[in-house]
Chains A and B, each alone.
Chain A
Amino acid sequence: MGPLFAKQRYLLDFALSCLWRRRGKNLALLTVYTLVVFAVASVMFFTQALKREAALVLGATPELLVQKLTLGRHDLIPADYTHRIREIRGVGQVTGRLWGYYYDPQVRANYTVLAPQGVEVPERTVLVGAGIARVRHLTRGATLTFQGYDGKPYSFQVRGVLSPESELLSADLILMSAADLRRLFGLPEGLYTDLTVAVANPREVSTVAAKIQELYPDTRPIVREEIRRTYEAAFDWRAGILLAVLSGALLAFLIFAWDKAAGLSAEERREIGLLKALGWDTAEVLQLKFWEGAVVSLTAFFLGTVGACLHVFVAPAPLFAPVIKGWSILYPRFRLTPFISLFDLGILFFFTVVPYTVATIVPVWRAASMDPDQVMRS
């Protein structure tokens, strides 16, 4: 154990006993500080996790989607549109998709009904999302009855509950065969909800989109990249509102910290003078105060961050969810996949710990650079 290390240990120990000496004040400070970190970190984790969920959703979205428009609204697209689109240079597979919404009056929620490609769902059976399974108390083997377009009941056997990595993606999803879907909604053969177009070279996507638009002026090609931007803007906007509110809190805290630190009490100034008179260097006094500040701010940072993790990922963000999510009654119990970016954590650290520590050090530095002889006359 070198003397330098030993010295810092003495300073840290003494810093702790100084903090303990003024525990009332320091606990109040720590509480406010922790709450601020907690609030900011919660918003951050929450938006980050949602963004990631959105990215997962988009990962499942095809590169290029083609919808037919009638009166400027999304309409069913005829299957023979696929032939001429397939002939465009650079286009691979063109597939018709079948999906729609089903309103369940029993739980007053919309389900997304989809006939999946690549997954065989036997007729008269469905796979249901976890959200639906929860609100309708469904398990494997249960029977789920829908009211068809013609008012007649259509019953399905539940083959299983979907449990992919993102619940946001699948909470409201019902998978059934294409034939069942057509029957339930009374959709004739030869019509699809929309078309997905595979493009081998990602850089040709917009050219292909333009060509489709030219070929079929009554369609709207949707490029995935655009959806991604829309999603992100929506999330950022919502997060922005929260952050605007929180930055008020942060500002108040900074003023509080500054005031606390800048207005060194006469007693504190006297003590700094005393340490200097007892043979402490200006640097050593600063190190002591640095430790004090570091202990408070690191503790607050740690408690606030861990609290925010629990709040966002374990207790499904009861405080913020209504603001940021709020789109479906199927979601109230859904749990975000923990996802924390180190970069964001670094930003948070930088904007909470650093200003506080600086705010503590600067005035001390002014007080500590005075001549120690002042102590002899007080």
Chain B
Amino acid sequence: MIELQEVRKVFHAGRPNEQVAVAGVSLTLEAGKLTVFRGPSGSGKTTLLSLIGCMARPTSGRIFLKGREITSLPVRFLTDLRRRTFGFIFQQFHLLAGVSVLENVMLPAYPLGEKYRHLRARALGWLERLGLLSKAGAKAEWLSGGEAQRVAIARALINDPDILIADEPTAHLDTRLSREFMALMADFRAAGTTILIASHDPLVHEAPAVDRVVDLRDGRLLTPEAPG
């Protein structure tokens, strides 16, 4: 479903501070599975997720999504693909302060211009499912860490993505909340969503729902996949 061929990402190429973040990764990820990327700090996990999620383009190599090559798509198509296909959960949650929880959740859907009634119903649906209905009108900055993350999850889900990407999702959560998060991911996986998580956290790697752990080091796979 997602296929990477010899993907490289070099920052500041050709300059003294050149930084090879991803150094030739070939990888096939199956649809509907939960994959965890593991590796030391600076091994390229975040960079790899941003490449898969169409946030940035690889320096070289190709990425296929459902058989379609996305590396060479024009920006407009890439943006469109990104917002219809991916949902992102950032490490810092990145909710917009001063704006209500409901509005935060609906934010990624605004450019699509669907009927307000439908959008609102869907956003409230997700908030209810995540136990946050009573907070819909609250300002984002009033939330606790666990609540803020669940809002971020609802926001990631608002455009019904096929693929959910989470970068260090448990970094700001205690053990109980981390377990709850993984349980939630298990639910989404069961519902058919493809899930990609980058994490240091053993609690994540060892969660029962995890299908596969991919180890990274210095921008490479620790154990390269057999070709084909």
Contacts and interface: CB of A to CB of B under 8 A. Distances in A.
Contact of B108 (A9, A279, A373, A378): A279
Contact of A6 (B88, B90, B107, B115): B115
Contacts of A270: 94
B83 to A, nearest CB: 3
Nearest to B85: A279
A277 B167 CA distance: 13
Interface string B146-188: 0000000001000100000001000000000000000000000
A280 B113 contact: no
A291 to B, nearest CB: 12
Interface string A265-302: 00000110011011111101000000000000000000
A366 to B, nearest CB: 16
Contacts of B46: 376-377
Contacts of A271: 96
A9 B113 CA distance: 8
A274 B111 CA distance: 14
Nearest to B115: A6
Contacts of B107: 14, 275, 278
B42 to A, nearest CB: 11
B88 A278 contact: yes
B119 to A, nearest CB: 9
Contacts of B103: 14, 17
A348 B98 CA distance: 34
Contacts of A17: 99, 103
A378 B94 CA distance: 9
A371 interface: yes
A6 B113 contact: yes
Contacts of A307: none
Contacts of B101: none
A279 B157 CA distance: 12
Interface string A2-21: 01111111110010011001
Interface string B109-138: 011111110000000000000000000000
A269 B112 CA distance: 23
Interface of A: 1, 3-11, 14, 17-18, 21-22, 270-271, 274-275, 277-282, 284, 371-373, 375-378
* Shortest Cβ-Cβ A-B pairs, 6 listed: A279-B83, A7-B113, A21-B98, A3-B113, A373-B50, A373-B55
Interface of B: 46-47, 49-50, 55-56, 75-76, 79, 82-83, 86, 88, 90-92, 94, 96-99, 103, 107-108, 110-116, 155, 159, 167
Given A10-B111, A281-B79, A371-B56, 17 more contacts: A6-B114, A7-B113, A10-B116, A11-B110, A21-B98, A275-B107, A277-B94, A278-B83, A279-B79, A279-B82, A280-B111, A372-B56, A373-B47, A376-B46, A376-B49, A377-B46, A378-B92
